[in-house]
Amino acid sequence: MDDDSVAIRELFDRYTELWVRHEMWEWGKLFTEDCDFITHRGMWWRSREENVRGHLDVPESVLAQKKNYSQTVIDVQPLTPGVMLVHTEWAWPDHVLPGAPAAEDRRGLITAVLVRREGNWLIRSAHNTRLNGLDDFAPRSAGS
């Protein structure tokens, strides 16, 4: 594994560590000032500050569950010198939304573009997608 891949995996380890501890201002430093972040719900934040403020707005009941969150880098590919495409897979077992009747095991993918700035890798853009979202297009039997 090359030095860039190691550094990017370390960045995402730090990302996950700060996410779990809900240290969002420190987490935000992993992103460029002009970053884009698209949430799994389709919200598009267009700066580091919007991204951090959006992620700060989380109910206390959800914050307590962050300890269950994990993330794994599954692919790192160079696009051009100083630009990398990264895919991660995250899991959040036993996640309970406020008011939900039961926990669910959430999973998803993050696609990120990283840029090298002053010798460090930073996230310029990220798109979070649920793998097991709420949309259910399965055929329904009569009466359901």
Q: Any idea what the CATH number is for the domain that residue 125 is in?
A: 3.10.450.50
Check whether 120 has a pLDDT greater than 60: yes
How many domains are there within the chain? 1
**Domain assignment present for 14:** yes
Question: What is the structure's pLDDT at 90?
Answer: 97
Assess whether pLDDT exceeds 90 at residue 135.
no
In a domain, 9, yes or no: yes
Instruction: Examine the pLDDT at 134 and tell me if it is beyond 80.
Output: no
pLDDT band at 122 (very low <50, low <70, confident <90, very high): very high
pTM higher than the cut 0.85: yes
Among 107, 36, 110, which Cα is nearest to 73's? 110
What pLDDT, in 10s, does the model give residues 8-58?
A: 999 999 999 999 999 999 999 999 999 999 999 899 999 999 999 999 988
Q: Is the dihedral of CA 10, 11, 15, 17 positive or negative?
A: positive
In a domain, 36, yes or no: yes
Average the pLDDT over 53-65 and give the result. Answer: 90
Residue 141 covered by a domain: no
Asked if 105 contacts 96 with a C-beta cutoff of 8 angstroms, the reply is no
Q: What would you report as the CA-atom Rg of the chain, rounded to the nearest whole angstrom?
A: 17
Q: What is the pLDDT of residue 144?
A: 47
Residue 144 lies in a domain: no
pLDDT at 143 over 70: no
CA distance 141 to 144: 6
Segment 110-122 shows an average pLDDT of 97
Is 54 contained in some domain? yes
Q: Give domain status of residue 18, yes or no.
A: yes
Domain coverage including residue 100: 3-130
Is 82 a domain residue? yes
**pLDDT value of residue 19:** 96
Contact 96, 61 (CB under 8 A): yes
